[in-house]
Homo-oligomer: A and B are copies of this chain.
Amino acid sequence: MKQYITLKDVALLAGVSYQTVSKVIHGNINVRAATEERVWDAVATLGYVPNESARSLRLTQANVIGYGLLPGEVQGVNPILEGFLHGMMAGASQLGFEIICFASTGLIDDDMVTYQNLFRSRKVGGFILSNIESGDARAQFLYDHQIPCVCFGNPKRNGMDYVDVSGFEGMKQTVLHLVNQGHTDIALLGWSGESRVGEERLQGFLQGIAESGLCEDNAKCLFGYGTVDSGYELTRGLLSGHHPTAICAMNDLMAIGAMYAVNETNLTIGGDIAICGFDDFPLTQYLRPSLTTVRQPAFACGQLAVEFLVDQIQTRTPGQHQAMLAPELVVRESSSKFF
């Protein structure tokens, strides 16, 4: 019995030349469909396994990027991550890569085996991670194991590649816009606990207050959860006494909750009290009034993340690419007296 099947055996069975088999196997498309069909049939019949060097196997197989998605029921609808995924797809398509998606828990202990299996078996050439926290353990693990990795969100560790959108800048611009509209008494609705995103946005808010020459008495910070209900409850509390004339919510859902609370009073949104959100969630332009918010270039982030990762896979040198993109303040009726 023969030890192993060669390209020549395949050629013989398919009735084509050695070169033609090679072309088909390497994805050269200048082969007639019927011929290609015959070659693949012979490959299947003989059980041929390309006996090439591991290097060329890696080149063939590593044109795949691993992306761990948190379960939908945990993260809910997330248009930012949807835009990011589409950006990754576009970037990958341009560079001849594919994206392999797997269910992630966001926890290193659970994902570790998946990462190693996918990478060590050469199914993927590297990973893109989202839902990054400061000092993210998944990113650290991949970095320590010299597995190429790019984070969507700054993991705040030297030597790691990331793309991020500046929540700091977005929140600061929101405050400056409100001050520009004449507001001097501004509340923040945010979330408590250790959150990289929350902390960035809080610091941007405080910076905006400071740059405007306002003091901390003019900036009331309230913390709950990033939900409509929480925004509603916090705002009800806020409106019960002497209240600010503007509310900056850390996301659109909290801003919607704030709108509901204001609508229960005699105050008008936009006129008496300004409300701003963050994320530019779909349909926020159709709320009444339409919601001022901060738009994140999620699609561009996805494209960049892929470019960074492909470069890292090819150069085997992490730490060469960090990008902090600026978000865009989208002013609408909810924060403008002039609409």
A residues near B (Cβ < 8 Å) are 3-4, 27, 29, 36, 40, 43-44, 46-49, 51-55, 57, 60-61, 64, 69, 71-73, 77-79, 82-83, 85-87, 89-90, 92-93, 98-103, 113, 116-118, 120-121, 123, 228, 256, 260, 281-284, 286-288, 299
Q: Please report the C-alpha to C-alpha distance between residue A48 and residue B120 in the assembled complex, in whole angstroms.
A: 12
Q: Please report the C-alpha to C-alpha distance between residue A60 and residue B228 in the assembled complex, in whole angstroms.
A: 45
Residues from chain B with a CB closer than 8 A to the CB of A43 are 54, 120
Given A4-B4, A83-B72, A113-B29 contact (CB < 8 Å): yes
Residues from chain B with a CB closer than 8 A to the CB of A85 are 69, 101
Residues from chain B with a CB closer than 8 A to the CB of A123 are 61, 64
Query: How far apart are A260's CB and chain B's nearest CB, in angstroms?
Result: 8
Q: A47-B53, A77-B83 are in contact. List 8 more A-B contacts (CB 8 A).
A: A60-B121, A69-B85, A77-B282, A89-B102, A89-B103, A98-B101, A99-B100, A283-B284
Query: How far apart are A275's CB and chain B's nearest CB, in angstroms?
Result: 13
Query: How far apart are A102's CB and chain B's nearest CB, in angstroms?
Result: 5
Residues from chain B with a CB closer than 8 A to the CB of A284 are 283
Instruction: Check if A101 sits within 8 Å of B89, measured CB to CB.
Output: yes
A51: nearest chain-B partner, CB-CB: B4
Given A72-B299, A287-B286, A92-B103 contact (CB < 8 Å): yes
Query: How far apart are A329's CB and chain B's nearest CB, in angstroms?
Result: 20
8 residue pairs bridging A and B, Cβ less than 8 Å apart: A27-B121, A43-B54, A49-B57, A71-B90, A77-B83, A77-B282, A98-B101, A99-B101
The one of B71, B79, B93 that contacts A103, using a Cβ cutoff of 8 Å: B93
Residues from chain B with a CB closer than 8 A to the CB of A64 are 100, 123
Residues from chain B with a CB closer than 8 A to the CB of A46 are 54
Instruction: Check if B86 sits within 8 Å of A72, measured CB to CB.
Output: yes
Residues from chain B with a CB closer than 8 A to the CB of A113 are 29
Residues from chain B with a CB closer than 8 A to the CB of A103 are 89-90, 92-93
Q: Please report the C-alpha to C-alpha distance between residue A73 and residue B303 in the assembled complex, in whole angstroms.
A: 13
A46: nearest chain-B partner, CB-CB: B54
Instruction: Check if B51 sits within 8 Å of A117, measured CB to CB.
Output: no
Query: How far apart are A245's CB and chain B's nearest CB, in angstroms?
Result: 22
Q: Please report the C-alpha to C-alpha distance between residue A336 and residue B119 in the assembled complex, in whole angstroms.
A: 55
Instruction: Check if A69 sits within 8 Å of B49, measured CB to CB.
Output: no
Residues from chain B with a CB closer than 8 A to the CB of A228 are 286
Query: How far apart are A190's CB and chain B's nearest CB, in angstroms?
Result: 20
Query: How far apart are A147's CB and chain B's nearest CB, in angstroms?
Result: 11
Query: How far apart are A292's CB and chain B's nearest CB, in angstroms?
Result: 15
A252: nearest chain-B partner, CB-CB: B283
Residues from chain B with a CB closer than 8 A to the CB of A90 are 71-72, 103
Q: Please report the C-alpha to C-alpha distance between residue A82 and residue B79 in the assembled complex, in whole angstroms.
A: 9
Residues from chain B with a CB closer than 8 A to the CB of A86 are 69, 71-73
The one of B3, B36, B55 that contacts A47, using a Cβ cutoff of 8 Å: B55
Instruction: Check if B256 sits within 8 Å of A286, measured CB to CB.
Output: yes
Residues from chain B with a CB closer than 8 A to the CB of A92 are 102-103
